[in-house]
Amino acid sequence: MAEIDATALTALIISLVALVVAVGQILQQYVATADGYRRCLPSVMGQWGTKSERRWRFMEFRFETIYYVPSISVGPPGVVVADSKSISELRQKDWRKIDLSNSTYTLKSIEPLINDTEEHKRKYGDYGAMVCWVAFLERLYERQKEIEDAFEWWWPAPESKDFQRHVNTMPTIPCVRILRRSWDFMPPEVVRPLCETTISDIALLVLRLGMSWKEFNPANRKLRAEGPGSLITSRYVPSVGLCLEYITTGYAKVSKEPIRPTTDRPKAAGIQGDPAPDQVGPVIEVNSKTNKSRATISSYQSKSTRESPSLGPVLLNSFLPVDGVSYFLFGIVPGNDSLSCFSRPLGTLNEIKEFLDFLDSTAEKSSNLPGLLVEAMKHREGWIPGFNDIIPITAPKLGRKSSPLCNLPMPNTYSAGVLRTEEGLFTFCERLKEYVEEHPSKQLKSIQDFVEKLEKHIEWKANDSVWASISPAEHISPQEAYNARKGFHVLVHDALDEAEKHLRLINVDPHGSIHNHKTELKHGFCYDTLVVEHLRMSITSYKTAMYNMDKTPMPKHWKGMDKGRSWLSACMNQYWDELEELAKSVEKITVPPDRIRVEPDYRLLVVDAWVTMIFRAFCWHHCHRLVAVKIVLPSEWHGSRMPVYIG
C-alpha cells in the first residue's frame, strides 16, 4: 500500500510539473505576442522606456506593445505649451490615463525624461544600444540653456517703447509633443523606436546645436550635417521615409572664466524685464482665464553672480533664437511688418533674376536689369549690386539691446554689399555732412547728431570684419572697456529704432509698389517703393560708378583705407550723385501728376527717407553679424511639414 502511495505521489508531482510547464508555455506564447516590447525598454530608450507597457487586447487575446516617443519641433512665437497641471501629470509613473495629444512641452519641463540618472548610466552605459534621439535631445537641452543665457541677459537694457515687435523678432524654443505609439504598426525594417520631426524643424535644430549643413536635398533623400562633436547622416527606410542618425563624437563644456564684471550686474530684481534672481530657463506664463500658457525665454540670471561660464564659444558659434533666422537659413530675407516690406527669396541667382524681371515689368520701360546684373557680376566675382544691401534695408531688427548674441546665417553665398563695408560707411558720413550744410532739415540733422555720437566710439568706423562681433579677449576686459562696449551697443540699437520710427511714421501708402491698380492707391510715400527704386539705381549706376572711379583722382577721405576696395566708396558716391533722380522716380510713382506742384516738399521727404534708410542699414549691420554658410537651403523647403524620423 505504501508502494502504491509513493507511486501515486510521484505521478502527481510529475503531472503538476507538466501542468506548470504547459501553463508557462501557454503564458509565454501570450506574453510573446507583445512584439517589440524588448526594443522599448530603458536599455534602448533611456527614461522614455520606463513608460512602455504591454496592453491586453481581449478581443484578439494577445498583448500589444505601447511606447512613447517625442515629436520635436521649434516652437513658433507664442506657442501654447502645457500648463502646470499637465506638467505634474506628465511626471506620474502611469501615462495610460493622461491625454497627451494636445499638450506641447518645453525641454525644461520634461528634463527627467531627457537626462538619464547616474544609476541608469552605470547599468546600461552612457548610451549603449539606445536610440540616437536620446543623445540628440540631451545635447539640444544643454545647448538651449547656453543660448538662453547668451540671448537673454548681459546687461540691463530694456528696449525703447518705440521698438516694434513682430513675429520675426519673437524668440523660438525647442518643444516636444509626446506621441503614444503601438509597435503593431512598426514596419519590419525598423528595429528601434523612431522620434519624429519635420524638414523645416530639423533644419533649425541643426543650427541650434551649433552644427552646419553639408548637404540638404530631401527630394533625393540626402541630408548631412556636421558640427562640434556631432554628426547627422540620413538613410531611406522603405514604408517609413527619410530617417536620420545622430552620432556624438564628444563635446567639450565651456570653461568657467567670467565673461562680465560682477560689479556691472543688477544686484536685485526689479529692472524692467528682469525676473527674480533665482528664476532660470523658459518661463511659462499662465493665463488665469484660459488656464493656458505661452512659452517665453525668460531673462537668464545665475544664482551665483561670481561663477558665470564663459560665453565666448556660444557667442561665436550660436545664432539668434528668433523666428526670423529660419528665413535667412532658407535664403529668404524676412519682411519687416513695421515698414510693410514683404519677404524676398534671394538665395539663388535665379530667384534674384525673377525679382529683377518683376522690377522691369513694373517700370515704365525695361532697363534689362538681369543683363546689367550679370555684367556687373562678371566685373567682380560674387558681387551683386544692391541685392545684399536689401538685407539691412528691409529685414527687421532681430538682435536685442540687452544681449551681444547677434549671429544670423547669410541668406546667399555672394559678397556683402556696400552697406556692410567701412568704405561705404566712411563715404556716407562724409557726404552726409556736406549735404546737411547745403540742405538742412530736421530729420537729416537728427541723423547727423546720431552719427556724431557714434563716431566717438571706435566700433562705429572699425574694420568691417569686426562689426557686431566680440573678440574672446573682450570677455575678460577691464571695467572701462566693458562699459564702452556696452555704451556703443545700446546707442547703435537706439539709433536703429529711431530711424525705423521715422520711416514708419511717413509710410502713408505701405503697399503702393505692390498693387497693380493705381486708381486704388492711397497716394503718398511708400517705403517699399523707395527700396525698389534704390535697387534699380544700384544696378543701373554701377557701370557709371566704375567709370568715374577710373577717371577721377582719389578723394582725400580715401587716405589710409584699402585702395583695392576704393570701388565701394565709388558706389556710395554714385548713390549720392543720383539721389535727386531717385527722388524724382519715387515722386513720379507715388504722387499723381496733378498734385506734384501742390506738394513741392515731397521730394525733400524722399531724400530724408533715403538717408534714413541707408543710416538704418549701417546701424543694422552693427547690430547683426551675417555668418557665411557653406550652402543655402532651398527656399521651397521653408516651412515644410514633410516628416523626418530620427532613430
Q: What is the 3-state secondary structure (H, E, C) of 128-149?
A: CCCCHHHHHHHHHHHHHHHHHH
Q: Collect all residues with Cβ–Cβ distance below 8 Å to 5 and sequence separation of at least 6.
A: none
Of residues 589 and 291, more confidently modeled: 589
87 pLDDT band, cuts 50/70/90, is: low
Q: What pLDDT shows up at residue 613?
A: 96
CA distances from 431 to 32, 348, 389, 439 (A): 82, 33, 19, 12
Q: What pLDDT shows up at residue 222?
A: 93
Q: What pLDDT shows up at residue 41?
A: 86
Q: For 14, list phi and psi in degrees, rounded to 5.
A: -60, -40
Q: Collect all residues with Cβ–Cβ distance below 8 Å to 628 and sequence separation of at least 6.
A: 410, 413
- Is residue 300 classed as helix, strand or coil in its secondary structure? coil
263 pLDDT band, cuts 50/70/90, is: very low
Of residues 100 and 528, more confidently modeled: 528
- Dihedral sign, Cα of residue 524, residue 526, residue 527, residue 529: negative
CA distances from 547 to 170, 382, 541 (A): 45, 20, 10
254 pLDDT band, cuts 50/70/90, is: very low
pTM of the model: 0.82
Q: What pLDDT shows up at residue 47?
A: 85
Q: What pLDDT shows up at residue 286?
A: 36
CA angle at residue 152 from 254 to 620, to 5 degrees? 105
Q: What pLDDT shows up at residue 503?
A: 93
Helices and strands in the chain, H and E counts: 20, 17
Of residues 158 and 54, more confidently modeled: 54
**Grid cell at residue 534:** 534704390
Instruction: Give DSSP secondary structure letters for 213-231.
Output: EEEEEGGGTEEEEEETTEE
Out of 33-42, 362-371, 390-399, the most confident range is 390-399
Helix axes 527-540, 566-577, angle to 10 degrees: 130
Out of 81-95, 468-482, 603-617, the most confident range is 603-617
Q: What pLDDT shows up at residue 231?
A: 93
Q: Collect all residues with Cβ–Cβ distance below 8 Å to 266 and sequence separation of at least 6.
A: 156, 274
For the stretch 537-586, pLDDT in tens is 988 888 888 877 765 555 555 444 555 678 888 899 999 999 999 988 88
Average pLDDT, the chain: 77
Q: Is 291 left (phi over 0), alpha (psi -120 to 50) or beta?
A: left
Q: What pLDDT shows up at residue 300?
A: 32
Q: What pLDDT shows up at residue 265?
A: 34
State mean pLDDT over 222-238. Answer: 91
Q: What pLDDT shows up at residue 228?
A: 84
User: Position 11: which residue type?
Assistant: A
Q: How far apart are CA 77 and CA 85, in angstroms?
A: 22
410 pLDDT band, cuts 50/70/90, is: very high
Q: How far apart are CA 395 and CA 333, in angstroms?
A: 6
Q: How far apart are CA 154 and CA 300, in angstroms?
A: 9
Percent of the chain's residues with pLDDT above 70: 71
CA distances from 55 to 179, 181, 631 (A): 16, 12, 47
CB 286 within 8 A of CB 232: no
pLDDT above 60 for 162: no
For the stretch 94-122, pLDDT in tens is 677 676 767 788 888 888 888 766 666 66
Q: Spell out the domain ranges in the chain.
A: 31-134+171-255+637-646, 347-397+414-627
Residue whose C-alpha is closest to residue 183's, from 30, 28, 38, 35? 35
Residue whose C-alpha is closest to residue 182's, from 286, 63, 76, 19? 63
CB 113 within 8 A of CB 100: no
* Residue whose grid cell is 562633436: 229
**Grid cell at residue 447:** 541723423
For the stretch 330-365, pLDDT in tens is 999 998 888 888 888 888 888 888 888 877 776 666
CB 346 within 8 A of CB 355: yes
Other CB atoms within 10 Å distance of the CB of residue 294: 15
* Residue whose grid cell is 556703443: 488
